[in-house]
Every structure is written in structure tokens, then in C-alpha cells.
């Protein structure tokens, strides 16, 4: 039985938005109520805007449907996917908070091996508020966790770590497998709870899943674009992957932290830390994966998924070497600058793979334009008109 909300703390209550992409009623929120009720929800309704999405009473939320997306962004709405969970990034765009937690509507509260309900949001917040260690691997995992520390031999000059930009949670029950794996292992369920949080090392890419994900919007938000997927596009289910490859390569420290850039460069020289000199390592921040777990309740149709994924499965044999080869100019000192540079390289280097990447490169620019438009100080906060605002 979930703890009564009076017993659940709500860290960062006014600094975090919960973004949910959906095509269905949000009954799943009932189970999350003790953990989510104190927070503001941004619901991105995909598909038919005339469909009425029911949200349980008592949640502070705003709901945007496609009519709202088109109204808020005008022609720039072309960069927001339709009929794909990639639409969730519209919620990242309109949020005014420092942190984002995004979750799918078929993800429920998981239980740890002791049977205790997992407050996934609190764990993500803990992950984001403690440093990452991308430059040197701590073999006892997260050194900033209660009851853990850096092990012998860990350089003291690196023990401050770097700020964490992304917290990537995992899933019990239905794992996030690609369609071929789903097809050959239809009954496989993830029952293994690994009690660990790891920093993904500098220079290493990872397959980011969007169903249980949190990030620091001020540090990395402009890079969390979920691409062009779904209706009218040759690919789907690579939304979060694309964002993860770009974001891991786009975690940049804003000018305000430029002193840290010097330290990192000094550290790199000192330890000859060389990774793929892409945006991430250009001005690294940390990315963590592991706890928290959610309970992923249902597998989507593997045949439908195969149709969405198949081009991505062979394209990525070119995409990954591309990201691993990217080098960025030293004068890229903000995520936006890094991302725009990356968009140029996507058009140049990946459009020979398929013309889609030329379109995607342009959409990346449109996304940054939309980001800067909606996040400029003068801009009034967006508000749903066609969707529903509930208190």
C-alpha cells in the first residue's frame, strides 16, 4: 500500500515538472499519487486532439494537445513529432522549471527486493543533486551515496566530480528491448533489481530510454530534443535514443561555470583523459544510469515496433561512429551552440545515409529556435487553450 502522501517528502517541489506523453486516460497516476501529487504535471496529449483525456482529480496539471502545440509554436511545430511518444519534448519546451522528470503512462510504482515501494522521483532527484564521476570509474559505484565512498587509488583531484545532467532510470517486468529481441524473447521479464547507480564514463554513448528519465533542464534541456518520429517519418522508437546520443554529446557547462571548463581541461591534460571529443566531453557534465526502477506494465506490439524501428537498426551502425567521431570547436560554450554545430554535422555527415537526416538536421535548428523563443526572459509562459488546465 503506498505511503499516505503526508509521509512522503517532496524535494524540489517547486523546481520540477513531471512530463507525460499520452494517448489514453491517466488512471496510472492514482498509484503514483503519494509521490507525484505535490508536483506540477505537464501532459502532452498525442494523436486526436478532440479525444478527451481523463486526469484523476487533485493533480496540478496542464494538458497540451496538438492544437496547443500548433498554436504555441506556429510553423515551428513542425519539429514536434505526431503519433509518437517523441511528442513529450514539447513538455520540456514549455516547462519553466529547472528539473524535468518524464515517465510513460504504462509505468507504475515498482517494489525493491524488500517489498518497499520505490519513490522513483526522489531517487532521480538524489541522482541529479549529487555529482557524477565521468573521468575515472569508482569500482564501488556511486561514491556520493550514503554508506559509500571513493575507493583507494581514486585521484583526490577528481573526487569533486562534475554536475549531473541526466538521471536514467530502469524498469522491472517489461524491459525496454528492441523489436527483434522482443520477438525472440516474448516472455522475458526483468526481475533483477540491481542496487546501483553508475556514471556513464566520459566518451561512452548509451541507449537512453525515455520512459523513466530525469534531467537538469537548465544544464542540458536544449539538447533533449526527441527528433522527428512517428506520423510522416521513416522511423520511430529512436526518439529517446537520438536525444541520448545528442545529449550525452551535448552536456555542456553554461558560461556561468566556465571556471569548471578550465578545471576539466586541466584534468584532461593531467590525466590524459581522452574520449571522443564530442559535445559531452567538450564540456562534460555527468549522466547516471541505474536506480530508480519503475514497473513497466505492458509490452508494445513487437510487429508494429519492428516496422517503426527497422531502418534505425541498420542506420545506427553509421550513426554511432558519427557521434564517436564528432569534434566541436572550442568556442562552443553553451548547449545551444554545441547543438547547432551538431545539427550542421548531422546534415553533412548523415544525409548520405538517408535524406531523412537532412530533414532532422533542420528540425534540430527549429527546435533550438523554439527553445530560445519560449525560454527568452520576455516570453510569457505558454498555456494550454484547447487542452485542459486543472488545479
Ligand X SMILES: O=c1ccn([C@@H]2O[C@H](COP(=O)(O)OP(=O)(O)O[C@H]3OC[C@H](O)[C@H](O)[C@H]3O)[C@@H](O)[C@H]2O)c(=O)[nH]1
Segment 322-381, which members bind Mn ion (CB under 5 A)? none
Cell numbers 496540478 correspond to 60
Task: Please tell me the distance from the alpha carbon of residue 4 to that of residue 35, in angstroms, as a whole number.
Answer: 9
Q: Which residue's C-beta sits nearest to Mn ion? A: 106
Interface size with Mn ion, residues (CB under 5 A): 2
C-alpha cell at 23: 494517448
Alpha carbon separation from 316 to 304, 319, 350, 351 (Å, rounded): 19, 4, 10, 13
CB of 199 to ligand X, least distance (A): 22
- Per-residue binding letters, 75-104, with Mn ion (x by CB under 5 A): -----------------------------x
* 106 vs 268 by CB, closer to Mn ion: 106
Helix axes 239-248, 302-325, angle to 10 degrees: 20
* 308 vs 349 by CB, closer to ligand X: 308
Judged by beta carbon distances under 5 to 8 A according to partner kind, the member of Mn ion, ligand X, none in contact with residue 84 is ligand X
| Chain centroid to CA 34 | 23
* 35 vs 242 by CB, closer to ligand X: 242
Judged by beta carbon distances under 5 to 8 A according to partner kind, the member of Mn ion, ligand X, none in contact with residue 62 is none
* 176 vs 341 by CB, closer to ligand X: 176
* 3 vs 301 by CB, closer to Mn ion: 301
Cell numbers 516496422 correspond to 307
CB of 213 to ligand X, least distance (A): 8
Given a contact cutoff of 8 angstroms between Cβ atoms, the answer to whether 169 and 121 are in contact is no
CB of 121 to ligand X, least distance (A): 16
Q: Which stretch binds Mn ion (CB under 5 A): 40-48, 105-113, 148-156, 378-386?
A: 105-113
CB of 40 to Mn ion, least distance (A): 23
Q: 60-64 and 40-45 as β-strands: parallel, antiparallel, unpaired?
A: parallel
Judged by beta carbon distances under 5 to 8 A according to partner kind, the member of Mn ion, ligand X, none in contact with residue 85 is ligand X
Judged by beta carbon distances under 5 to 8 A according to partner kind, the member of Mn ion, ligand X, none in contact with residue 24 is ligand X
Q: Should residue 386 be labelled a site residue for Mn ion when binding is judged by CB under 5 A?
A: no
CB of 104 to ligand X, least distance (A): 4
CB of 171 to Mn ion, least distance (A): 9
Judged by beta carbon distances under 5 to 8 A according to partner kind, the member of Mn ion, ligand X, none in contact with residue 341 is none
CB of 240 to Mn ion, least distance (A): 12
Task: Please tell me the distance from the alpha carbon of residue 175 to that of residue 159, in angstroms, as a whole number.
Answer: 33
Q: What are the residues binding ligand X (CB under 6 A)? A: 21-24, 46-47, 83-85, 87, 104-106, 176, 209-211, 237, 239-240, 300
C-alpha cell at 10: 517532496
* 109 vs 382 by CB, closer to Mn ion: 109
Task: Please tell me the distance from the alpha carbon of residue 283 to that of residue 209, in angstroms, as a whole number.
Answer: 23
Alpha carbon separation from 329 to 102, 260, 386 (Å, rounded): 32, 18, 43
| Chain centroid to CA 15 | 17
Judged by beta carbon distances under 5 to 8 A according to partner kind, the member of Mn ion, ligand X, none in contact with residue 83 is ligand X
Alpha carbon separation from 241 to 168, 173, 214, 224, 332 (Å, rounded): 12, 21, 15, 10, 23
Q: Which residues of 13-49 are buried (b: 16+ CB within 10 A; e: fewer)?
A: eeebbbbbbbeeebebbeebbbbbbbbbbbbbbbbeb
* 136 vs 245 by CB, closer to ligand X: 245
CB of 300 to Mn ion, least distance (A): 6
Given a contact cutoff of 8 angstroms between Cβ atoms, the answer to whether 121 and 35 are in contact is yes
Secondary structure (DSSP) of 58-79: T-EEEEE-HHHHHHHHGGGGGG
* 106 vs 369 by CB, closer to Mn ion: 106
Handedness of CA 99, 104, 109, 112 (dihedral sign): negative
Q: Which of 24, 67, 106, 180 binds Mn ion (CB under 5 A)?
A: 106
* 43 vs 285 by CB, closer to Mn ion: 43
Contact residues toward Mn ion (CB under 5 A) are 104, 106
Amino acid at each position: 500500500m503506498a505511503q499516505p502522501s503526508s509521509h512522503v517528502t517532496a524535494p524540489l517541489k517547486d523546481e520540477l515538472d513531471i512530463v507525460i506523453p499520452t494517448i489514453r486516460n491517466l488512471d496510472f497516476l492514482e498509484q503514483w499519487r503519494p509521490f507525484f501529487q505535490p508536483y506540477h504535471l505537464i501532459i502532452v496529449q498525442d494523436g486526436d486532439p478532440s479525444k478527451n483525456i481523463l486526469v484523476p482529480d487533485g493533480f496540478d496539471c496542464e494538458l497540451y494537445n496538438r492544437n496547443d502545440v500548433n498554436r504555441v509554436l506556429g510553423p515551428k511545430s513542425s519539429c514536434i513529432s505526431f503519433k509518437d511518444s517523441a511528442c513529450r519534448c514539447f513538455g520540456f519546451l514549455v516547462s519553466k522549471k529547472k528539473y524535468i522528470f518524464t515517465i510513460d503512462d504504462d509505468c507504475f510504482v515498482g517494489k525493491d527486493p524488500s517489498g518497499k515501494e520505490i519513490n522513483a522521483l526522489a531517487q532521480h532527484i538524489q541522482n541529479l543533486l549529487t555529482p557524477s564521476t565521468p573521468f575515472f570509474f569508482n569500482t564501488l559505484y556511486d561514491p556520493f551515496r550514503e554508506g559509500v565512498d571513493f575507493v583507494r587509488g581514486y585521484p583526490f583531484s577528481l573526487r569533486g566530480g562534475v554536475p549531473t545532467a541526466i538521471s536514467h532510470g530502469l524498469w522491472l517486468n517489461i524491459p525496454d528491448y528492441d523489436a527483434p529481441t522482443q520477438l525472440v524473447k516474448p516472455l522475458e521479464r526483468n526481475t533483477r533489481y540491481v542496487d546501483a547507480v553508475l556514471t556513464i564514463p566520459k566518451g561512452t554513448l548509451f541507449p537512453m530510454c525515455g520512459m523513466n528519465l530525469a534531467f537538469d533542464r537548465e544544464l542540458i534541456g536544449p539538447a533533449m530534443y526527441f527528433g522527428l518520429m512517428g506520423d510522416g517519418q521513416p522511423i520511430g522508437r529512436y526518439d529517446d535514443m537520438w536525444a541520448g546520443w545528442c545529449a550525452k554529446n551535448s552536456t555542456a557547462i553554461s558560461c556561468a561555470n566556465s571556471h569548471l571548463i578550465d578545471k576539466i581541461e586541466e584534468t584532461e591534460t593531467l590525466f590524459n583523459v581522452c574520449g571522443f571529443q564530442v559535445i559531452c566531453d567538450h564540456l562534460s557534465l555527468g549522466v547516471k544510469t541505474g536506480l530508480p526502477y519503475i514497473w513497466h506494465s505492458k509490452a508494445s506490439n513487437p510487429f508494429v515496433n519492428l516496422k517503426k524501428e527497422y531502418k534505425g537498426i541498420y542506420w545506427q551502425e553509421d550513426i554511432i561512429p558519427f557521434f564517436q567521431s564528432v569534434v566541436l570547436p572550442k568556442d562552443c560554450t553553451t548547449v545551444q551552440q554545441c547543438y547547432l554545430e551538431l545539427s550542421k554535422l548531422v546534415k553533412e555527415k548523415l544525409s548520405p545515409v538517408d535524406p531523412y537526416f537532412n530533414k532532422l538536421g533542420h528540425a534540430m535548428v527549429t527546435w533550438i529556435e523554439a527553445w530560445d523563443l519560449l525560454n527568452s526572459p520576455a516570453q510569457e509562459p505558454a498555456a494550454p487553450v484547447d487542452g485542459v488546465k486543472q488545479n
